[in-house]
Every structure is written in C-alpha cells, then in structure tokens.
Amino acid sequence: MDEKKIDWAELEADYVSGSMSYAELAQKHGLAKKSVERRGVACKWFLKRQKHREKLSASLAKAEARKQVKRRGRYRAIEDKLLDKLEQAVDELDLVIKTKVTKTKTVKYENAKRPDKPTEEVTVEEQEHDTVKVMIDRSGLAAVTNALEKLKAAQGWRSELDEEEQRARIAALKAKVAESERDDGNSEIVVRFESNMEDFAG
C-alpha cells in the first residue's frame, strides 16, 4: 500500500488509546509491521501512549478519591444523626412514661317491649400519659455506652481503611498500566531508539 494513502493519524490514535502492539496494528490495517513500527518510533507513539495512560490513571485515581470523600460525607451525616439519638437516649435514661387508661361504658335501654335489654353499649377509652423520673435504667445505659464505643471505633477504623483502600486501588491501576505497556517487547525497541531517557522516568 502507498504510504501516502495511509491514515497515520488513525493508526496513531489506535495505538495510543489502545493496547495493540505494532504487529497487531499492522495486521489490523493490512500493513507491513516494519512500516508501522518505523512510523511509531519516529513519531514517539509509545511515549504518547504512556502519557495517555498516566493521564487516564490519574483521572481514575481522582474519581476514586472523590467517591471516597463523598462516602465519608455520607457516613459522617449518619454518625451525626446517631449521636443526636444517643444524646437523647442519655437524657431519657431516668425517665419513664406512665400511661393511665380510663374506660367508660355507657349502656342505653330504649326498647319499650324489653326495657331490661340494652339497645346500645358504648365504651370510651381515655389515656393519660405522664413522664416520671426513676432510677437510671442500667441496661439502657450499657446499651448506649456500647453503641457510643462502637461509633468511636468505627470512625477511626473507617478512616484508616478508606486511605488504605484508596492506596491499594491506585497501586492496582498503576500496575495495570505498567502491565499493558509490555506489548511484545515494543517498549524495549523504543527505549533503544529514543535518546531522551528522562521521558521514561517515574
């Protein structure tokens, strides 16, 4: 094929954004491997691929960090609500609600033929609630204390876990990028042809 008719921009885009080797790229487009390899080395396709992957990796890491921050915010909102409930529970440990129930039964006798037989019975139930102070509920106190201790432990444990998980995910992303760069030894060929070795640092 006439090299003037080859869409090198398309081939470069395929190589930089993908994971194909020069040989695979040549086969896909029906070209000689030497031609594609020569063009790729001359135009520094490997370096462009490396920068593209580093940018993608950084983008994924930032997205993961944002996700973790959002998740922490949700946890903290729940913790605040739980703390409010625990404070309320502490304030109410020595309170008991007593309920007094009064039932009133009304019977009507309106049957002229059977004056002794009730014609209607109505029962009205009334409740009165009163809050009184008693001795502190020890089991309730133990439950509130236990819940508070678990909340405190969860705060410290979760923060460390989030950071560790984030570091592990970033390391996994970097390892994935490094692994995908080993495509049939092309990285070694590029290293031999390029003179600016600082581009390969990091």
Spell out the per-residue pLDDT of the chain, length 202, in tens: 556 688 999 999 999 999 899 999 999 988 999 999 999 999 999 999 999 999 999 999 999 889 888 888 887 888 788 778 878 877 887 777 788 888 888 888 888 888 788 888 888 888 887 777 766 677 777 787 787 777 777 666 555 666 677 677 777 776 666 665 554 444 433 333 333 333 333 3
Question: Does a structural domain hold residue 56?
Answer: no
Question: Does a structural domain hold residue 106?
Answer: yes
Indicate the number of domains in the chain: 1
pLDDT the model gives residue 1: 52
Q: Does the predicted TM-score (pTM) go above 0.85?
A: no
pLDDT the model gives residue 181: 52
Question: Does a structural domain hold residue 116?
Answer: yes
Name 96's bridge partners: 132
Question: Does a structural domain hold residue 101?
Answer: yes
CB distance 142 to 89 below 8 Å: no
Question: Does a structural domain hold residue 143?
Answer: no
pLDDT the model gives residue 4: 62
Measured distance CA(50)–CA(164) in Å, rounded: 26
Q: Which domain holds residue 121?
A: 95-134
Which ranges constitute the DSSP H helices of the chain? 8-17, 22-29, 33-42, 45-91, 138-180, 186-193
Question: Does a structural domain hold residue 20?
Answer: no
pLDDT the model gives residue 39: 92
CB distance 142 to 22 below 8 Å: no
pLDDT the model gives residue 47: 94
Count Cβ atoms within 10 A of the Cβ of residue 22 and give its class: 0-12 exposed, 13-18 middle, 19 or more buried.
buried
pLDDT the model gives residue 42: 94
For residue 177, which of 45, 55, 57, 21 has the smallest C-alpha distance?
57
